[in-house]
Structure formats: C-alpha cells, structure tokens
Amino acid sequence: MGRRRPGTPTLEEVAAHARVGRGTVSRVINNAAGVKESTRRAVQRAIEELGYVPNLAARSLAGRRADAVALVMTEPDWRQFAEPFFSEIVRSLGDALTDTGIQLLLTLVRSDAERQRFLEYARGGRVDGVLLMSVHAGDPLPDMLAEARLPTVLLGRRSGEEYVSYVDADNIGGARSAVSHLLRQGRRVIATITGPLDLYAAQCRLRGYEEALAMAGLESEQTRVAESDFTAESGRRAMAELIERHPDIDGVLAASDTTAAGALEALRAAGRRVPEDVAVIGFDDFSLAQRTEPRLTTVRQPIEEIGRAMIRLLLEEMEEGAVAWRHVILRTELVLREST
C-alpha cells in the first residue's frame, strides 16, 4: 500500500525563479564548467529559496551516486545499543546489501541539532538513501527527510497513520497469539511487561495482549501491565512489581526476550517455578531465548526478511524515484519451548 508524496519544487520551477534555462540549472547542480558566477549564484539562491532537492535518480545518471546508505539510530538511551535486536538488524541489513556494492553507514541522531546536521549531510549527496530504526512517536526526522525527497525506509512506524515507507512485524498478531496460547493452557491471571509505550511496536504488543483477553471474555487490568525499556534490569523490576500487585499471576508476556530473561530472574528470586507456577513468553526469538533457564517460548520476528524488505524498498525508491510510500507488515511466529 502507499500514499502519494507531497508536491515539491521541480527543476523547471527553479529555472523560472532564477530566470535561466533548465539546462543551466542542471549544470549548476552538477558543478559543470561554463556557467557565469553571477548565474551560478542566482541558481543557488533559487534552489535555497524554493527548497529544491535534486532527484537522486537523475544524479545517478550523471555519475554522482554516493553508493552509500545511512542507517540512522534515534534511540537516546545508549543501553539500547547493547540489546540483541540492534545487532541482529544491522547484520541483516548488511547481508541484504552484500551484492549491491553499496556501503552501510551507521550514524546516531538524538537531538534537534543532530537531526538538522544529518539532514544537511544527506541533502548534500553524501548518501543515496536513509534507513531509520527505533523511531519514537513524534520524531520529526522522517518528515524532514520526506520533505527533502530523500529515499527513506523506517523499521517500524511512529503510529498507525505513518505515511513514510516502512517495514514492520505483525506485533499485534504476535502478542495475541502468545496470550491465546497461555489461555489455552488454562492460565487466567496473565500480566504483560511492555516496551516503552512511546514506541508504536510496544503499543501494538499491548493491544494484542488486550485483544486476546477480550476474545476469551476476560478483562485486562491496568495493574497487570508494567512498562519496561526492553532491558533485562527493567524486566526484573517490572516482574517484581507485578508479583507484589498480583501474587496469583500465572502467565506473563514480555515485550522482548531480554525483558523476559529479567522476568525469569525475578520469578526465581520470588520462589516461583517456571512454567509450573508462572508461564513466560518473550518476543523476538534471538539466541538468548535458547540460553535462559528454562528456554523461552517466544514470538519470532522475521529479522532476515525485515532486512531484505527494507533494502528492497529503499533501492526501489533510489532507482525509480517512487511517487508512493510503501508499507510492508511481515508475519510473526510463536515458537514453543520449556517456559510455557
């Protein structure tokens, strides 16, 4: 599915604004010789005043491709970069680019000043496209890149109304299937440890949890919901709070495998057996899920497919100058192990 891009200045409009021919504008953009300095300044002033961004496909025909794409991480908390999700995504994106001859450049953008610097860097032709991950609700960077007509693909989305191209996993369906599995096992006091709720993925996993309970005729209680930041420490803390609020908890859905690993530690410290007393399900299915004691039942995200889909969408935008944004949502899978 896709939505049309907003109107942006054309080469012809820049030419009219500068009172020169279209070919002159093209020569200025490509730093060609034979243009008077006064004319060059007039064209550059028109480009700046109109906010014109040269078409990357046209630049590639002139041999001006950077042969590089930027992977931008917007997570303000440095601890998040130690989580398996980030390294797995970087690996999958690198693998997808192996045969393209395109370099993957990693950059961090966490403040308004850094956003503006990166925008100017990207507009300057140093990268051919942008991949964004860990974008929180309200982050203006995707909008800034869209307005600059820079090919951009998000990992996940900021809200259900996202228009910039993105690739996401079915977070609602994955969480719903996990809680439905717990219900089929006879668990009735089921809690959830969410991720940061300013991330749409965390909101969707919470929604899937609530939908599964509603389908079983059970009400979701706010006191059975605890927020984490996807780390093991936050999982331990959240699980301890949930046990204190509801000593009769018999099932837990955690928003990541790392969070679930922390929850297992808190249950063990409280003398609760897994899965005999409390069944635990994680989300992601990284190698960590098979190293916990007991091994984690978890919702598998298709990381390899996510990386390939992101690169495919970005290359299409770079090569074709796509006029519509594309949205891809990939299936998840519940992987059963000993923790349930």
| Closest CA relative to residue 264, chosen from 295, 219, 221 | 295
| Closest CA relative to residue 74, chosen from 174, 196, 170 | 196
Q: Which amino acid is at 301?
A: Q
Strand, helix or coil at 281?
strand
At residue 284, what are phi and psi to the nearest 5 degrees? 135, -50
* Structure-block tokens of residue 335: 């992987």
Q: Is the pLDDT of residue 55 over 60?
A: no
Q: How confident is the model at residue 84 (pLDDT cuts 50, 70, 90)?
A: confident
3-state helix, strand, coil in the chain (%, to 5): 45, 15, 40
How many Cα neighbours within 13 Å face the side chain of 118?
Answer: 27
Q: Residues 28-38: pLDDT tens digits?
A: 876 665 678 88
Q: Residues 258-284: pLDDT tens digits?
A: 999 999 999 999 999 999 999 999 999
326 alpha-carbon distance from chain centroid: 14
Identify whether the C-beta of residue 285 lies closer than 8 Å to the C-beta of residue 301.
Answer: yes
Q: Is the pLDDT of residue 82 over 70?
A: no
Q: Residues 139-160: pLDDT tens digits?
A: 999 999 998 889 999 999 999 9
- Alpha carbon dihedral 176, 182, 184, 189, in 10-degree steps, equals -110
User: How far apart, in whole angstroms, are the C-alpha atoms of residue 89 and residue 154?
Assistant: 12
